[in-house]
Amino acid sequence: MTMPLEGRSTTRALRELENGDSSLRLRAALAIGTTPDPRFVDKLIERCATEPEFSVREMLTWALTRHPSSIAVPRLVDELRAEGSRARSQALHTLSKIGDRRAWPSITRALLTDPDDEVARSAWRAAVVLVPEEEVPGLAAVLAAQLGRGDRETRLSLSRALIALGEVITPTLRAAMTDPDPRVRQHAVATERLWRDPDAGFGFAIEEAKRVVALGGTGQEG
């Protein structure tokens, strides 16, 4: 029996996810997302774990969001236990895009404090999307405990995650402003500055925070 045209196109798209040409992989992910089928979910997640190109990973994530969350979310949650950091990071990123709060219990402290900065950043982004209101203070405390961590990109990601939680971060930031570690104090002050004046930019907030900390201040007003 001859395979229907749609079936042949899908089979070709699944094969092209492994093609050495990133443009073909991108096209394949687009095709699969355009014609979603639950049978494709495992293959899309498998490819996310190894795909080197950012634009293709974004298209794979989009394709997964086109499938029923009742099928995609449990598979992605399973991926959070993967050994590879890219697999964990991309699964977290995709969960943040799907936005199904049933995934929240899987955003563990271990993921939020993962030693791999990319995994941790993805976990922070997913957490602020998925966290139930009653869990926000606890999440704020876990995130604030990592102030001062990593490079500029990591610190900016953490600041944005904290700011997204709203007023609840006030006491945690104030406590961090008195931390013995100057990096923690600087990051806390910069986060508070960025929260009050988002248009100032993180670079400006960091430089201002350095001056405040160098002068022995905490950045707290009043």
Q: Note the pLDDT of residue 8.
A: 52
Which range of residues forms the domain containing residue 156?
136-222
Residue 192, in any domain of the structure: yes
Q: Which stretch of DSSP H or E encloses residue 5?
A: helix 5-16
Percentage of the chain exceeding pLDDT 70 = 85
Residue 149, in any domain of the structure: yes
Residue 58 CA: distances (Å) to CA of 7, 9, 44, 46, 109:
24, 21, 11, 14, 25
Q: Note the pLDDT of residue 205.
A: 58
Residue 151, in any domain of the structure: yes
Residues of the chain with pLDDT under 70: 1-10, 199-222
Residue 200, in any domain of the structure: yes
Number of domains in the chain: 1
Residue 155, in any domain of the structure: yes
Residue 124, in any domain of the structure: no
Q: Note the pLDDT of residue 86.
A: 95
The 10s digit of each residue's pLDDT in 162-185 is 999 999 999 999 999 999 999 999
Q: Note the pLDDT of residue 2.
A: 34
Residue 203, in any domain of the structure: yes
Residue 176, in any domain of the structure: yes
* 86 phi-psi bin (left φ>0, alpha ψ -120 to 50, beta other): alpha
